Structures are given as structure tokens and as C-alpha cells.
């Protein structure tokens, strides 16, 4: 009885095909679809490699796959629409058959429309649907999920002129407004997840302030996603290059989940999933609602 009531209280993420249970932390595995410049296999080889990566990440314990066709590393060039479509759509068409929710990292409404038609479950947008037509595209779908991320300025310029002042307050007000605007277009609240956008136009100190004060972000009553994997703030505090940031990335993922994130976006699925199992084993013995759950049922007054 109380189990049912309690279960119903857990947050869920409504997506195209899946109602995702957020009572345990979910691992979103990163799948980059970029042209394979080291082989002359062409387009088909790129699709096949991305699908093999999808299967590997699922075998390692990914709960969601995030497919992206444009590198969003600071300073990377934009990918033309036709090129992004040609990279991503064939992968999504196949990946949706793997049985797991498929997220697509894009900010272009045309790509959103094409991947939703191909069966994608979630739109993950670093622009938080600020590109013209993007919000209407998501709102035009009956139930796809969406992750709204905060970014200061744009990928080309964000590192030159990072945010000033209180990043937490700014991220909160931006995302609250974005989520409200989207609901005004008819998107149910349960379809929306928020993300502070670690590294996107923030200083190292601001990124860690967003982690330290993540509980404040939770004052907005949405599930939160955190993306720390291999990012430069981890390089800044460890001195390690991008290919040696596994330990730092796993630590950041666990800290983010312990501070309330429900989904972590990561490259290293196997190690992150193992670390989160350790976190869950602890959590099972110290549930946050322990006091309420264990209190004797109130008798008649
Ligand atoms: C090494 C590898 C160093 C990758 C940096 C990076 C987020 C995101 C990205 C995020 C959400 C990245 C698409 C940046 N980060 N989407 N996307 N949240 N929702 N850089 O934090 O991974 S791309």
C-alpha cells in the first residue's frame, strides 16, 4: 500500500516510447556520429561504427543512448544541416530497434523533426529550444522527452567570455523560464528534464559552484541531468588530459547524483554504472524518506 503510494511519487520522464522511472539514477551513454576520416568506408561505415558503439554501451549498462552528429566541444565548427541529417538519421532509424530510449543531441528543428519521425524518444538540446521553430517542433510531438540545457553565449564564443557573477541564480532563472515557455506551448511537465550545462560558457569555479549548490537547482521541481564526463573543468583540477579523466569523470557523476541529479551523460558507461551501483547500495540503507516511512502510522486523533 505505502509501496504503491511511494512509487507513484517517484519522478518519471515521459518520452516517445518509454516512461522512464527516475527512482534510480540513469546512465545516458554518449554516441558520437562523426565521419570516419581514417577509413574510406564512407557514410555506411560511419553508421555501422555508431551502431556498434550503441550496442557496446547498452551491454555496459547504458539506460539511454544520446546520439549526436555535431561535435559541441568549445570552438568546434557548426555542421551543415544536410550533413547532420545524413549522419544522424540512419543511426537513429537502426538504434530505435535496440530496445532502449534514444536521445538525439541537436538544436536544429529540421533534425529534430527527422529523428522524431524516425522514432527518437528524447531531444537533447544545448540551446534549450531557442533556435526558431525548435520549441514548436517538440511541442508538435505528442510525447517526446526533452532535455533543456543552459548555455551562456554560443559554442564558438562561450569560453572567451564566460558568465559573470552568480551562475546558479542565472541558470535557475533561465531554465525555469524555458520550461514554463515550453509548457505554455502544450508540453507536459513530465516530458521535461533540466541541465545546468557544465562547461558551456562557465568558469571552472562556476561549474563547481553548480555542483556544490545543485540542491538549489532542485528547488525547481524538475528532474536534473548532469554532464561532467571528461570535461575541461576536470582537467583543470587534476591536470589530466582528456583521455585520462575517467576517475575524475566517475567522481563527478557520483557527486552529481548524490546532490540530486537523476541522469548522468557519460562516455564511460561501464565504470559510471558500477560507481552508481555503489551509491545505490548506500542509498538503500539510508533512504531520504526514511523518517517518514518508518514513522508509526498515525492513529485516529
Ligand atoms: C571531452 C569530450 C571534453 C566531450 C569535452 C566534451 C552536454 C550535452 C554536451 C551536457 C547535455 C562535451 C551535447 C560537450 N555536453 N548535453 N552535450 N548536457 N544535456 N564536451 O552537459 O561533451 S557536448
Domains annotated on the chain, with CATH: 12-283 (3.20.20.20)
DSSP 187: -
Confidence of residue 28 (pLDDT cuts 50, 70, 90): very high
Please say if the pLDDT value at position 298 is more than 50: no
Calpha distance 27→268 (Å, rounded)? 10
pTM of the complete model: 0.92
Please say if the pLDDT value at position 297 is more than 90: no
Distances (CA, A) of 69 to 12, 79, 87, 90, 143: 27, 8, 6, 11, 23
Mean of pLDDT values over 195-209: 96
Distance (Å) from CA 293 to ligand 1 centroid: 38
Confidence of residue 51 (pLDDT cuts 50, 70, 90): very high
Cell numbers 555501422: residue: 48
Calpha distance 28→20 (Å, rounded)? 12
Tell me the angle at which helices 42-59 and 81-95 cross, rounded to the nearest 10 degrees.
50
Counting from 1 in the atom list of ligand 1, the atom nearest the Cα of 126 is: 16
Largest CA distance in the chain: 78
Calpha distance 238→217 (Å, rounded)? 26
Please say if the pLDDT value at position 293 is more than 60: no
Distance (Å) from CA 246 to ligand 1 centroid: 15
Q: Is 237 in the pocket of ligand 1 (CB under 6 A)?
A: no
Q: What residues have CB less than 8 Å from 135, skipping those under 6 apart?
A: 129, 181, 182, 185
User: pLDDT of 53-84, one tens digit each?
Assistant: 999 999 999 999 999 998 766 667 789 999 99
Reduced DSSP (H G I as helix, E B as strand, rest coil) percent helix, strand, coil of the chain, to 5: 45, 15, 40
Q: Is 195 in the pocket of ligand 1 (CB under 6 A)?
A: yes
* Higher pLDDT among residues 114 and 289, named by residue: 114
Mean of pLDDT values over 25-34: 96
Catalytic site residue 213? Answer: no
Distance (Å) from CA 124 to ligand 1 centroid: 11
Confidence of residue 39 (pLDDT cuts 50, 70, 90): low
pLDDT at 35: 76
Catalytic site residue 202? Answer: no
pLDDT at 1: 33
User: pLDDT of 151-192, one tens digit each?
Assistant: 998 888 777 777 888 999 999 999 999 999 999 999 999 999
Catalytic, out of 87, 93, 202, 231: 231
Cell numbers 537513429: residue: 92
Collect contacts of 91-94 with beta carbons under 8 A, ≥24 apart. Answer: 91/31, 91/33, 91/47, 91/50, 91/51, 91/54, 91/67, 92/67, 92/118, 92/119, 92/120, 93/118, 93/119, 94/47, 94/51
Mean of pLDDT values over 214-223: 92
User: pLDDT of 115-156, one tens digit each?
Assistant: 999 999 999 999 999 999 999 999 999 999 999 999 998 888
User: pLDDT of 223-250, one tens digit each?
Assistant: 999 999 999 999 999 999 999 999 999 9
C-alpha cell at 166: 552568480
Amino acid at each position: 500500500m505505502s509501496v504503491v503510494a511511494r512509487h507513484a511519487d517517484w519522478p518519471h520522464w515521459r518520452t516517445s516510447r518509454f516512461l522512464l522511472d527516475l527512482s534510480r539514477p540513469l546512465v545516458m551513454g554518449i554516441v558520437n556520429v562523426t565521419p570516419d576520416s581514417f577509413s574510406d568506408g564512407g557514410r555506411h561505415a560511419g553508421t555501422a561504427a555508431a551502431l556498434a558503439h550503441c550496442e557496446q554501451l547498452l551491454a555496459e549498462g547504458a539506460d539511454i543512448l544520446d546520439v549526436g552528429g555535431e561535435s559541441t566541444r568549445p570552438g568546434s565548427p557548426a555542421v551543415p544541416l544536410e550533413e547532420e541529417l545524413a549522419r544522424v538519421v540512419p543511426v537513429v532509424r537502426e538504434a530505435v530497434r535496440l530496445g532502449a530510449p534514444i536521445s538525439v543531441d541537436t538544436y536544429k528543428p529540421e533534425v529534430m523533426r527527422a529523428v522524431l519521425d524516425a522514432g527518437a524518444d528524447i531531444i537533447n538540446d544545448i540551446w534549450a529550444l531557442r533556435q526558431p521553430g525548435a520549441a514548436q517542433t517538440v511541442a508538435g510531438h505528442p510525447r517526446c522527452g526533452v532535455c533543456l540545457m543552459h548555455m551562456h553565449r554560443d559554442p564558438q564564443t562561450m569560453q572567451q567570455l564566460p558568465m559573470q557573477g552568480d551562475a546558479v541564480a542565472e541558470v535557475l532563472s533561465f531554465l525555469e523560464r524555458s520550461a514554463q515557455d515550453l509548457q505554455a506551448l502544450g508540453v507536459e511537465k513530465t516530458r521535461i528534464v533540466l541541465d545546468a550545462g557544465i562547461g558551456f560558457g562557465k568558469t571552472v569555479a562556476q561549474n563547481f559552484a553548480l555542483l556544490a549548490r545543485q540542491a538549489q537547482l532542485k528547488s525547481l521541481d524538475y528532474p536534473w541531468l548532469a554532464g561532467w564526463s571528461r570535461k575541461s573543468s576536470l582537467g583543470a583540477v587534476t591536470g589530466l588530459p582528456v583521455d585520462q579523466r575517467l576517475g575524475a569523470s566517475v567522481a563527478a557523476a557520483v557527486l552529481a547524483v548524490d546532490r540530486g541529479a537523476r541522469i548522468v551523460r557519460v562516455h564511460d558507461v561501464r565504470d559510471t554504472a558500477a560507481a552508481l551501483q555503489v551509491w545505490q547500495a548506500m542509498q538503500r540503507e539510508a533512504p531520504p524518506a526514511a523518517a517518514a516511512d518508518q514513522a508509526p502510522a498515525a492513529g485516529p486523533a
